[in-house]
Amino acid sequence: MSGYRRLDVRRGKPVQVTVDGEQIPAHQGETLAAALLAAGVDEFRRTRTGDPRAPLCHMGTCFECVLTVDGAPLTRACLTPVRDGMVVTREAGQS
């Protein structure tokens, strides 16, 4: 028997988020960044020079995770809770 104890993690109600026309699973209470990373999305945007970017700080300071969410550009995914029916577009050529 190990000295480790397994945490009892309960996820919220399942919701659907659409990213560039593709549905991904998510759970209430998660941030958009967490949901995308859990779904295997590892590129959130590209810079003007074409460099791929993804979340770095997960606390709203680096702006590496910006996406267009329900038509609102430059939304920080790490600060945005998911909700059912959310429509997300990845940014290209921003900063």
Binding site for ligand FES (CB under 6 A): 55-58, 60-65, 76, 78
Tokens of 92: 């290209």
What Cα–Cα distance (Å) separates residue 88 from each residue in 5, 18, 20, 37, 39?
Answer: 37, 6, 6, 14, 14
Tokens of 95: 């900063």
Read off the DSSP letter of residue 89.
E
Q: Which is nearer to ligand FES, 28 or 61 (CB)?
A: 61
Q: Which is nearer to ligand FES, 59 or 87 (CB)?
A: 59
**Minimum distance from CB of 55 to ligand FES (Å)?**
4
Q: Which is nearer to ligand FES, 46 or 58 (CB)?
A: 58
